[in-house]
Chains A and B, each alone.
Chain A
């Protein structure tokens, strides 16, 4: 059974940093692309970033480009999101999601439960 467990969320001041992690199990992690998707409570879904199976292709939403960095460690079955220069509008529930494919973003077939990030002074 596929499990995705996010961690690392919490309260951060504007301009500071947070690092999110996603521990994956139940599938061959190193053969699928992975993503971060966020959701402001009560609002819609926003794709944040994606990374191919071998880290050869990464992409970001314009809203986070230059501030967030996605990475993965296939040896540890883990996905990461380094969030720098945080803004209040980054406040959201951050989901880790598995892609159906190895590269080329397609269907997010499994999602974690999310980790809440709050950016406030």
Chain B
């Protein structure tokens, strides 16, 4: 079993760039793909990044994902921030040790 740790909250101004980290506490971050979900208030989650860095159709290229094995973490970067990006963001990965799924605790992004 492992944990995925995210910052509780981040904030940035419109037009700027923000990066949200997701650190795996045991085992290698490259062992299993990382996904990122966006959840706006009152809505269900939607995928913004899957398989580390892939973007679903319809997700703007302002959203990008990356993996850093040196820090054992994944990152979601959002450039050209818009007020509509204000939401909670969750990272997620598969736990092959117990055939389960792990979510990070979520990061609240404020665009102000």
Contact = CB atoms under 8 A, between A and B. Distances in A.
Nearest to A112: B44
A-B interface, 10 closest residue pairs, ranked by CB to CB distance from nearest: A47-B101, A107-B50, A111-B44, A59-B99, A44-B106, A45-B103, A107-B35, A105-B94, A44-B105, A105-B101
A13 interface: no
Contacts of A57: 99
| A contact residues, range | 20 to 34
Interface of B: 33, 35, 37, 39, 44-47, 50-51, 56, 90, 92, 94, 98-106
9 contacts: A35-B101, A44-B103, A45-B103, A45-B106, A47-B92, A50-B101, A106-B51, A107-B33, A109-B50
A44 B102 CA distance: 11
Contacts of A82: none
Interface string A40-71: 00001111001000000101111000000000
Contacts of B44: 95, 111-114
A109 B99 contact: no
Given A44-B105, A45-B106, A108 B100 contact: no
B105 A47 contact: no
A109 B56 contact: yes
Nearest to B34: A107
A112 B43 CA distance: 10
A100 interface: yes
Contacts of B104: 44
A104 interface: yes
Most buried by B among A60, A62, A105: A105
Contacts of A109: 47, 50, 56
Contact of A46 (B39, B50, B103): B103
A67 B47 CA distance: 29
